[in-house]
């Protein structure tokens, strides 16, 4: 775990001295007072502190993220000299274990970074600061964020976190290869069956040196989109939102695609199933498409000399949603809630902060800042990613509920069972049955 030098001059933590502020209705009403309409009291939120405050903040990421985050925190201190930061960051591996340990020991940072695989579990234990009243009081300004994106930070009806950036599933394809073959490039709105038929033709045209499409049967987000397109969801509360028969159909769809050689054999698929960007088949030349998050396209492009493109996953785009690429959450036990909230708002809505952060965590959540960042981009792959997000956003469906505790284990289980089908160890029906039984146990653990 690495620490970044404290921003500004450090101060000792002080307990919040200001009382919660509530806007009353004025003097007490008399019995004969008018019964006309009255305004509801403003939400109760903590007042901003004017004395010295040191906040702790914890995130995962690489050196670039650390540098940019540090710059934004330094800018906040420049604008609010009474506030300084103790910054700690590390690689993704082991991050959630470290965070959970610190939360259990009451030593967690005031502000910490999460993704949607982590948020449900942490928030369900009431370890995140409830931001609902701060949003209602406009201390966190969400007017330039899509409602779908904001809703994807709610757990149990409470605003548990705020989105730092936005992305959505994207099918990345090799434009250079498809142009050389003289075949149509994938389009938004293709059906899954159309994709597989098209992929079969691509495989044949390359003499099976490059297959038409990656097999995403082990990819939880591809399954999730496919389910939503049929009126279902991955989860229903803390249970699965689909049946054994539904998962059997999904596994069968991709077994048929492999049998038709529209998708590669299991040994090739297996290498990409772990999610390593550098090993995705669209950049290793083994498939013309890969199923990723849209904001990963620029990173994929670094691993190939070919030109890439990105479209939505097949099927109705309403199955997709504005996903928070990452969140900031506040520690429920912080002694500086008002300052914590103000820092979060700064990351989302301050134009200068937006310019510094760019697209490192994903596309800016604030649409005005996104436009400003987009206009300054010179990387064609980043431009293409922002263009795609802007194009697809009006077609998004409502945000699903944040995944429940156990999501990470369920994701791993899906890979395990999908690979059993890919390698011919189990039939689609047998693998689906095994998945449903084991997933139910993981979600109740």
**Shared domain check, 83 and 99:** yes
- In this prediction the pTM is 0.84
**Shared domain check, 382 and 346:** yes
Q: Give the 3-state secondary structure of residue 399.
A: coil
**Shared domain check, 11 and 155:** yes
Q: Is 401 part of a structural domain of the chain?
A: no
DSSP 215-226: --TT-HHHHHHH
DSSP 302-331: TT-SS-EEEEPPSS-GGG---EEEEEEEEB
**Shared domain check, 218 and 151:** no
- pLDDT at residue 27, rounded to an integer: 38
- pLDDT at residue 40, rounded to an integer: 54
Q: Is 31 part of a structural domain of the chain?
A: no
Distance of CA 218 to the CA centre of its chain: 18
**Shared domain check, 196 and 291:** yes
**Shared domain check, 268 and 196:** yes
- pLDDT at residue 171, rounded to an integer: 97
Q: Can you give the pLDDT of all 445 residues of the chain as single tens digits?
A: 555 544 443 333 333 334 333 334 333 333 334 444 455 566 778 888 889 999 999 999 999 899 999 999 999 999 999 999 999 999 888 999 999 999 999 999 999 999 998 999 999 999 999 999 999 999 999 999 988 899 999 999 999 999 999 999 999 999 999 999 999 999 999 999 999 999 999 999 999 999 999 999 999 999 999 999 999 999 998 899 999 999 999 999 999 999 999 999 999 999 999 888 999 999 999 999 999 999 899 989 999 999 999 999 999 999 999 999 999 999 999 999 999 999 999 999 999 999 999 988 989 999 999 999 989 889 899 899 999 998 999 999 998 989 998 888 999 999 999 999 999 999 999 999 999 999 999 997 6
Range(s) of the domain holding residue 109: 2-22+42-165+324-391
- pLDDT at residue 28, rounded to an integer: 37
Q: What is the domain-level CATH number for residue 312? A: 3.40.190.10
Q: Is 82 part of a structural domain of the chain?
A: yes
Q: Is 262 part of a structural domain of the chain?
A: yes
Q: Is 36 part of a structural domain of the chain?
A: no
d(CA 337, CA 136): 15
**Shared domain check, 173 and 159:** no
- pLDDT at residue 41, rounded to an integer: 60
**Shared domain check, 352 and 218:** no
Mean per-residue pLDDT over the chain, rounded: 90
Q: How many domains does the chain have?
A: 2
- pLDDT at residue 15, rounded to an integer: 37
**Shared domain check, 80 and 139:** yes
d(CA 366, CA 165): 8
d(CA 167, CA 226): 18
Beta sheet of 289-293, edge-to-edge order:
289-293, 169-174, 308-311
- pLDDT at residue 22, rounded to an integer: 37
DSSP 45-80: EEPPP-S-EEEEEEEE--HHHHHHHHHHHHHHHHHS
The pLDDT tens digits for 20-60 are: 333 343 333 333 344 444 555 667 788 888 899 999 999 99
Q: Is 133 part of a structural domain of the chain?
A: yes
Long-range contacts of 10-13 (CB under 8 A, 24+ apart): 10/54, 10/84, 10/86, 11/52, 11/53, 11/54, 11/84, 12/52, 12/54, 13/53, 13/54, 13/335, 13/336
**Shared domain check, 260 and 115:** no
**Shared domain check, 189 and 157:** no
8 A C-beta contact, residue 263 and residue 211: yes
Q: Name beta bridge partners: 292.
A: 170
**Shared domain check, 157 and 194:** no
Q: Is 28 part of a structural domain of the chain?
A: no
- pLDDT at residue 47, rounded to an integer: 81
- pLDDT at residue 21, rounded to an integer: 35
Q: Is 243 part of a structural domain of the chain?
A: yes
């Amino acid at each position: 775990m690495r620490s970044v030098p404290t921003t500004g001059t450090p101060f000792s933590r002080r307990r919040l001295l200001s009382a919660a502020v509530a806007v009353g209705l004025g003097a007490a009403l008399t019995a004969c007072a008018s019964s006309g309409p009255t305004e509801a009291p403003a939400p109760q939120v903590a007042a901003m502190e004017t004395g010295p405050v040191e906040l702790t903040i914890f995130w995962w990421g690489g050196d670039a993220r650390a540098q940019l985050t540090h710059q934004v925190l330094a800018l906040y201190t420049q604008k609010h000299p009474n506030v300084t930061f103790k910054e700690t960051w590390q690689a993704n591996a082991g991050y959630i274990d470290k965070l959970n340990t610190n939360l259990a020991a009451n030593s967690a940072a005031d502000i910490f970074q999460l993704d949607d695989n982590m948020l449900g579990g942490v928030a369900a234990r009431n370890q995140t600061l409830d931001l609902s009243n701060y949003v209602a009081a406009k201390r966190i300004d969400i007017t330039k964020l899509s409602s779908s994106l904001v809703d994807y930070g709610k757990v149990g009806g409470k605003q548990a976190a705020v989105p730092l950036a936005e992305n959505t599933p994207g099918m990345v394809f090799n434009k250079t290869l498809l142009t050389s073959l003289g075949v149509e490039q994938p389009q938004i709105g293709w059906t899954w069956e159309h994709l597989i038929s098209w992929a079969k033709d691509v495989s044949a045209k390359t003499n099976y040196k490059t297959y038409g499409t990656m097999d995403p049967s082990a990819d939880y987000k591809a399954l999730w989109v496919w389910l939503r397109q049929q009126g279902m969801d991955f989860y229903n509360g803390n249970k699965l939102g689909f049946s054994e028969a539904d998962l059997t159909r999904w596994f069968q769809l991709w077994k048929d695609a492999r049998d038709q050689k529209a998708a590669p054999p299991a040994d090739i698929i297996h290498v990409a199933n772990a999610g390593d960007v550098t090993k995705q088949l669209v950049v290793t030349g083994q498939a013309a498409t890969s199923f990723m998050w849209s904001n990963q396209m620029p990173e994929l492009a670094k691993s190939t000399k070919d030109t890439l493109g990105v479209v939505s996953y097949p099927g109705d785009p309403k199955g997709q949603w504005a996903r928070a690429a990452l969140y900031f959450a506040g520690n429920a036990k912080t002694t500086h809630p008002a300052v914590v909230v103000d820092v979060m708002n700064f990351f989302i809505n301050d134009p200068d902060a937006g310019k510094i952060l760019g697209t490192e965590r994903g596309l800016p959540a604030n649409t005005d800042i996104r436009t400003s960042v987009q206009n300054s981009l010179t990387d064609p792959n980043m431009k293409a990613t922002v263009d795609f997000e802007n194009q697809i956003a009006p077609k998004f469906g409502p945000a699903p509920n944040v995944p429940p505790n156990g999501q990470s284990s369920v994701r791993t289980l899906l890979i395990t069972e999908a690979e059993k089908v890919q390698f011919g160890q189990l039939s689609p029906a047998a693998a689906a049955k095994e998945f449903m039984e084991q997933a139910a146990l993981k979600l109740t653990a």
